[in-house]
């Protein structure tokens, strides 16, 4: 079934660690996005990509990086985790046509101690 997958679903890690949050989609979408969201609160765009080898920074991009080497894969890396990074991270994807809607993955809930 076409879907968006995120791993891990939950992660507890110590300050200063480097972490990579994985996102893969089997929907054949060109556009992919990372959002940070505290529970029930506003969605903050971190990074997005229009396609392979294309990445752009969102409003909240500091301290993290992304790569898009394959269409289906869009990992997010935090070089040095801090307690302020504790949040939920949602990956999303969208088709090429402008009116195609955006679909979200299940999220990774990150806790930095």
Partner 1 sequence: GENVEQHPSTLSVQEGDSAVIKCTYSDSASNYFPWYKQELGKRPQLIIDIRSNVGEKKDQRIAVTLNKTAKHFSLHITETQPEDSAVYFCAASEANTGNQFYFGTGTSLTVIP
Query: Whose Cβ is closer to partner 1: residue 48's or residue 74's?
Result: 48
4-7 vs 87-94, strand pairing mode: unpaired
> CB of 19: closest distance to partner 1 in angstroms?
20
Say whether residue 45 binds partner 1 (CB under 8 A): yes
> CB of 59: closest distance to partner 1 in angstroms?
10
Query: Whose Cβ is closer to partner 1: residue 78's or residue 89's?
Result: 89
Contacting residues toward partner 1, per CB under 8 A:
31, 33, 39-43, 45, 48, 50, 56, 90, 94, 97-99, 101-107
């Amino acid at each position: 079934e076409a879907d968006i997958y995120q791993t891990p679903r939950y992660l507890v890690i110590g300050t200063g660690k480097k972490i990579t949050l994985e996102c893969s989609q089997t929907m054949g979408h060109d556009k992919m996005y990372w959002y940070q969201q505290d529970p029930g609160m506003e969605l903050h765009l971190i990074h997005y990509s229009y396609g392979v080898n294309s990445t752009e920074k969102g409003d909240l991009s500091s301290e993290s990086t992304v790569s898009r080497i394959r269409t289906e894969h869009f990992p997010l890396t935090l070089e040095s985790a801090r307690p302020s990074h504790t949040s939920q991270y949602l990956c999303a994807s969208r088709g090429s046509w402008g009116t195609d809607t955006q679909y979200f993955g299940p999220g990774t809930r990150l806790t930095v101690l």
